[in-house]
Amino acid sequence: MRIIPAIDIIDGKCVRLSKGDYNTKKIYNENPLEVAREFEDNGIKYLHVVDLDGAKSKHIVNYKVLESIASKTKLTIDFGGGIKTNEDVDIAFNSGASQITGGSIAANNPIQFLEWLNKYGAEKIILGADCSERKISTNGWLDKSDIDVVDFIKDYEVKGIKNVICTDIAKDGMLAGTSNELYQEIMSQSNINLIASGGVSNMDDLYQLIELGCEGAILGKAIYEGNIKLKELQELC
């Protein structure tokens, strides 16, 4: 299972939220590049970067941070947040992203999202399936749809998606464990590569995700709060 630390960005700074609530913002480092370099120095190879300003503004905002990290580390970066147009996609890839994640666009404008999937391929385009009470949430998690998360993923699998990041918003940033039952259901009904996100609190949570068969696990606050040490992740990697 791939270990994928997350760097969430607001105003160019490394932050974390609880349940996606922007009012719970906590700044962990004013220089995300320092954080990324520390990950790399401890054997991490992958990084999940989220432009929270972009998600709220509905267009990429913090691409300079992405550019800095991509040009000054060897980390393989997937990038999401505010990717709504062809220009946003170009900016993300030109700034150094290896993959982009589309969540809101996949729910609200599937024709556009499928164009990107067909143009760039399933290895470059990740489906973001962020949900609250099983319903897909969009636009920085500020809006909730009526789309069931499992149906959403299965529909896009038929259309060619291979990689899915699924975040249970109720778990995100809460350090209270991951949505294992939901992940088990998703994997029992599809053959996608599932990247679990939200709720990782300790190493036991990661071992459980490995047992479930997740392809990757994204974690953030557990690292920043010291619940999981980078040396532990280095040993796991």
Q: Which residues are catalytically annotated?
A: 8, 130
SS3 content of the chain, % helix, strand, coil (to 5): 40, 30, 30
Residue 202's closest CA among 173, 180, 177, 179?
A: 177
Q: Could you list the beta-strand ranges (E) of 133-172.
A: 135-138, 143-148, 163-168
> Which own/partner contact pairs does 140-148 have at CB distance under 8 Å and 24+ positions apart?
140/20, 140/22, 140/52, 140/55, 140/56, 140/81, 141/20, 141/55, 141/169, 142/56, 145/107, 147/107
Residues 6 or more apart whose CB falls under 8 angstroms from that of 69 comprise: 7, 32, 33, 36, 47, 49, 75, 77, 96
Element (DSSP H or E) covering residue 44: none
Helical residues (DSSP H) of 85-229, grouped into ranges: 86-94, 104-108, 110-120, 149-158, 180-188, 203-212, 221-224
CA 56 to chain CA centroid, nearest Å: 15
